[in-house]
Amino acid sequence: MRDFEGQVALVTGGSRGIGRACCLAFARRGAKVAVNYAGNEAAAAETAKLVVEAGGEARLCRFDVADAEAAAKAVDETVTAWGRLDVLVNNAGVAMDGLLLRLKEDDLDRQLAVNVKGAFFLAKAAARPGSIVNLSSVVGEMGNAGQAAYAATKAALLGFTKSLARELASRNIRVNAVAPGFIDTDMTGGIAEAQRQKMLEVIPAGRLGTADEVASVVAFLASKDAAYVTGETIRVNGGMYM
């Protein structure tokens, strides 16, 4: 299926994990993909290579999503290079865990800057007919001890999604969110086995999700199959939160 043939998608945090899977999901369906990354050029280059192998076109976009000027410039450069921008996936995010009483203000500020302000900056710069998909998280809905700041940023994206969907619907721009649960990526790869088992106990499906499973939902929301879907959050969490 090449239903994104001729379309352009910009995916933030596209060098690995869910971001890379999203890049490949769009590439397999014919899209040109702008791969954003913050610093790991080798990983981003690998994503670009995989995008081409999957049948798409790729260009690398190195910038910090928390930098409003850089975000706007990246969007402009993408449109200049390919003539359009149809899909924005706000996937870039950071998690700096710690109990509230030990949380440093700088850590809070960085998570707010990347996870929330980054989505604001990109959406503002990229607001044009098409689709915006924001990556939230299961902890943004149910909370998690030691992740008060991270959960707050992911909850903020849900309110942002609903509000922006109302603002942009008249301009034929749909805005939706995906809330992944515990996904098997680099972020969860370093978890101790005992902790992993505790995680599995609260997931009815009995396993971690895959990045591809999240990416397929992102691609659906961006596609014409979801043409009458906006302001929604789809949970991809194996039943962890219903």
What's the half-sphere exposure (Cβ side, CA atoms, 13 Å) at 67? 12
């991809």: which residue's tokens?
236
Are the C-beta atoms of 215 and 18 separated by less than 8 Å?
A: yes
As a whole number of angstroms, the distance between CA 125 and CA 144 comes to 32
DSSP state of 144: -
Are the C-beta atoms of 100 and 49 separated by less than 8 Å?
A: no
Burial label, 72 (beta-carbon count in 10 A; 0-12, 13-18, 19+):
middle
- The verdict on whether 150 is a catalytic residue reads yes
Are the C-beta atoms of 27 and 5 separated by less than 8 Å?
A: no
The two beta strands, 87-90 and 8-11, are parallel
Annotated catalytic residue: which of 37, 150, 228, 241?
150
Residue 59's φ and ψ, nearest 5 degrees, are -140, 140
Termini Cα distance of the chain: 31
3-state secondary structure of 217: helix
Are the C-beta atoms of 92 and 36 separated by less than 8 Å?
A: yes
As a whole number of angstroms, the distance between CA 197 and CA 216 comes to 26
Active site members = 150
